[in-house]
A and B are shown apart, each in its own frame.
Chain A
Amino acid sequence: MSGFWAARLERLGERAAWVYTGLVFVFLFLPIVIVVIYSFNAGRNVNQLTGFSTQWYAAAFSDRFVMRALGNSLTIAATTAVLATVMGTASALAMDRLRPRLRRLFEVLTYVAIIVPGIVIGIATLIFLVTAFDWLNPWLAYLGGPNTPELGLGTGSIIAAHTLFTLAIVNVLVRTRMRGMDRTFIEASEDLYATPWRTFWQITLPQLVPAIVAGALLAFTFSFDDFIIAFFTSGQDQTVPIYLFASIRRGVSPQVNAIATVLLSVTILAMVTAGFVYRRGQRRAAPSVASAGDSAVAGVPVAAGAGAAEPTS
């Protein structure tokens, strides 16, 4: 009797767990979907659906300030992605050959760069650069004459701060991939008297490409989405998130929804590509290990998550 009730209760509990999980998924996606829907709204009222229209996209794309912010954001994200990928990959490749103590130090700094909250990076970069510029500018003026442009905050300082933590993320991704790599090909290549350089180009690098591409895309997205670091280090230059924040505070206009949707699309496209490339590479590298996909998927989001804790405020 009690067994019967216990079984029913357990089934009920199980069903409740499913319903609850379903509700959490709705909770996670509904607000984003609403923003996208309202971006195609015809009416001026932000909260009343009155028909389909793309006028807010047209308005956004013909707005000089939006376009300048978009241009800045793309430049910053692309430069950050290139710098972070090159430095992150190079350091990941060579780290193992460093003296153990130096390697340990580098590892610690990498984790610190990932873990320090974005707001601290933003503030520290702000006061460091302002202090440095205050000291440098008189010297530059002295050396270059009165018409020398002054150093100041702007896209350059945002790139510097973004590159710091994205290079750390690329480094971790590539190193994780190197650890999972099949060494037999490298050994075979060395046994066959290939030069180290050739082994690198023909064996090592192709196996690392998925991690490098995923890292580059992650770096691009984190930089493109970041608000808080740019908020402190941007000076007079605007990025899309900073522009969005300012217009939200001025009062919500339907144009905001359109810009937000464009931003969302770019991000999701980049992220899905990153996940896809990384997983494909993982499968090709370890075809015999069926569960490799598991750790790959868990690996990317967790690494991404740890990093993404960063650009948030």
Chain B
Amino acid sequence: MTQQSGTVARADAKRRGGAGLLVLPAALWYVGFLIAPLIVLFVMSLGERSPNGGYAPGLTLEQYANLTSRITPLTNTLGLALLNTVICVIVAFPVAYTLALKVRGGWKLALVALVVVPFWTSFLIRTYAWMTVLGNQGIPRLLSGVGLGEIQLLNTPFAVSLGIVYNYLPLMVLPIYVSLERLDHSFVEASRDLGAGPIATLRQIVLPLAAPGILSGIVLVFIPVMGEYLIPILLGGGKTYFLGNALADLFLQSRNWPFGSALAAVFVAGMIVLVALYLWVSSRLVRSGREASLL
């Protein structure tokens, strides 16, 4: 008996050893190119700036203290990212609703695939495309052709918002679509049969059921928008400043690595808090019978 269980245990250990060997390369890659870099980032954020740029070892919270002196750009970024995420929700919701509840049969999948196709293509090219459309030879020329006068579109906050909505729309449409897709259409009909108007039905039936999807969309869009670099540069003319632009300047131009590391560390920490918050809220939603889908 004991001998048998010993054999089993040995076979088990061997199996686990083999499994470990297969997972090892990926695990090493995570350690070498994810954990170690993040640790270096954190250590560097505690250091000082060396006179000729780069990093000088140290153990100080000075960089973090400096962050508070530059709190205005940070809160501006936060506000802009939030605003643009909300615009994304507003633009995406009717699309997701129409796709999930109004389209029938084979068309549905085809249209959903079409929403995703632009997302597969290069981010840089999609943003660049809008430079042509919004540039002085694009829409502004059409507008002045109809006698609307000179209108500047490129290098405005409007162009930045447009670029963000354009690039991140699929990330918002998809999760909302998935949550509405699961919505039982009879709920909507029951609500209507019981005399509720379209708006009451939307507020009391559709929106609560779409909530997990909207939540996922917000998390999926908000985090990368915070770290946005390309759109403000190409469409905003460098006038709107996101966290990504600040980080690129600190690491590539002014070479203030410790301060940049502190900023990046705060970004990562904020992201972790946000995802944790998301998981907490969505687990409560699941408990109340609604499902969430981030990945």
Contact = CB atoms under 8 A, between A and B. Distances in A.
Contacts of B277: none
A304 B120 contact: yes
Interface stretch (A54-62, A158-166, A208-216): A158-166
Contacts of B275: 115
A244 B124 contact: yes
A194 interface: no
Contacts of A311: 123
A295 to B, nearest CB: 10
B122 A241 contact: yes
Contact of B178 (A86, A110, A298): A298
Interface in A23-40: 24-25, 27-32, 34-35, 38
Contacts of A281: none
A313 B230 contact: yes
A20 interface: yes
A264 interface: yes
B121 A228 contact: no
Classify the interface of chain B: helix, strand, loop or mixed.
Answer: helix
Given A90-B22, A117-B223, A297 B94 contact: no
B227 A313 contact: yes
A18 B102 contact: yes
B135 interface: yes
B73 interface: no
Given A116-B268, A225-B121, A95 B23 contact: yes
A107 to B, nearest CB: 11
Contacts of A46: 132, 137
Interface in B207-237: 220, 223-224, 226-231, 233-234
Contacts of B6: none
B206 interface: no
Interface of A is mostly: helix
B223 A228 contact: no
Interface in A72-121: 86-88, 90-91, 93-99, 106, 109-121
A125 to B, nearest CB: 5
Contacts of A121: 34, 37
Contacts of B123: 225, 227, 311-313
Contacts of A126: 251
A67 interface: no
Nearest to B133: A31
Contacts of B33: 125, 128, 160-161, 163-164
Contacts, number: 279
A180 interface: no
Contacts of A106: 23, 26-27, 30
Interface stretch (B11-19, B62-70, B145-153, B282-290): B11-19
Interface in B28-53: 29-30, 32-38, 40-41, 44
A72 to B, nearest CB: 16
A141 interface: no
Contacts of A264: 121-122, 125
B99 to A, nearest CB: 7
Given A28-B115, A35-B128, A123-B41, A260 B122 contact: yes
A256 B223 CA distance: 30
A24 B30 contact: no
Interface of B: 15-16, 18-23, 25-27, 29-30, 32-38, 40-41, 44, 55, 91, 94-95, 97-99, 102, 109, 111-126, 128-133, 135, 137-138, 141, 166-167, 169-171, 174-175, 177-178, 181, 197-198, 220, 223-224, 226-231, 233-234, 244, 247-248, 251-252, 257, 260-261, 264, 267-268, 271, 275, 293-295
3 shortest A-B CB distances, which residue pairs?
A: A47-B137, A31-B129, A124-B37
Given A35-B125, A171-B26, A312-B230, 18 more contacts: A20-B95, A25-B111, A29-B118, A31-B132, A32-B118, A34-B129, A98-B20, A106-B30, A117-B224, A125-B37, A227-B124, A241-B122, A248-B128, A249-B233, A297-B112, A298-B177, A298-B178, A302-B295
11 contacts: A20-B95, A21-B94, A90-B22, A116-B34, A119-B247, A121-B34, A123-B264, A297-B109, A298-B181, A302-B295, A312-B224
